[in-house]
Amino acid sequence: MSDLLERLRGRGWRMTSQRRVVAEVLDGEHVHLTADEVHVRAAAKLPEISRATVYNTLGELVSLGEVLEVATDGRAKRYDPNAHRPHQHLVCSGCGAIRDVRPQGNPLSDLPAEERYGFTVEAVEVTYRGVCPSCSA
């Protein structure tokens, strides 16, 4: 994660304690926190941090391509720091838990030209839905 901080500094990011704790909270594998959850965890380390700052920082991280925004349901967006390894998501219909997964093949090539309606297709997101072990138990 210090990699991230270094990269950001290299891009001219002004380093503040708020940005640091947000970046720290977003560390790890299979992390998919909502903005509010990020705020709660960040506030545990830096009580004065405001909601607006968390939203601003998350938005910047997304613009910089360091974090992915994931909208798996109609509720709050989730933020996924695993942005440098292409992956898709597996979501539990019961509890909403999310795992990063790597399917085989390339869905982009599965869309034939006659199904593209003249669009320039640039990306594809795949969301698998199912029931996790805890919820099916």
Partner DNA sequence: ATCCTACAATGGACAGAGTCCAAGTCAAGA
Partner DNA sequence: TCTTGACTTGGACTCTGTCCATTGTAGGAT
For residue 81, what are the CA distances in angstroms to 73, 94, 120?
18, 23, 27
In the set 16, 101, 111, 128, which binds DNA (CB under 7 A)?
Answer: 16
Stretch that binds its own copies, among 9-17, 20-28, 37-45, 108-116 (CB under 8 A): 108-116
For CA atoms 25, 54, 84, 122, give the dihedral sign.
Answer: positive
What distance in Å separates the CA atoms of residue 96 and residue 12, rounded to the nearest whole number?
A: 36
How many residues in the shown chain lie near DNA by CB under 7 A?
Answer: 26
In whole angstroms, what is the distance from residue 38 CA to residue 85 CA? 22
Q: Restricting to residues 57-96, which ones interact with DNA according to CB under 7 A?
A: 57, 59, 74-77
Residue 44 lies near its own copies (rule: CB under 8 A): no
Our finding on whether 50 is near DNA (CB under 7 A) is yes
User: Applying CB under 7 A, which part among 51-59, 95-103, 107-115, 121-129 lies near DNA?
Assistant: 51-59
Minimum distance from residue 115 beta carbon to its own copies (Å): 5
Q: Which residues pair with 33 in a beta bridge?
A: 79
Query: How buried is residue 75: exposed, middle or buried, by Cβ count under 10 Å (0-12/13-18/19+)?
Result: exposed
Q: How many residues lie near its own copies (CB under 8 A)?
A: 39
Binding site for DNA (CB under 7 A): 9, 13-19, 34-36, 46, 48-53, 55-57, 59, 74-77
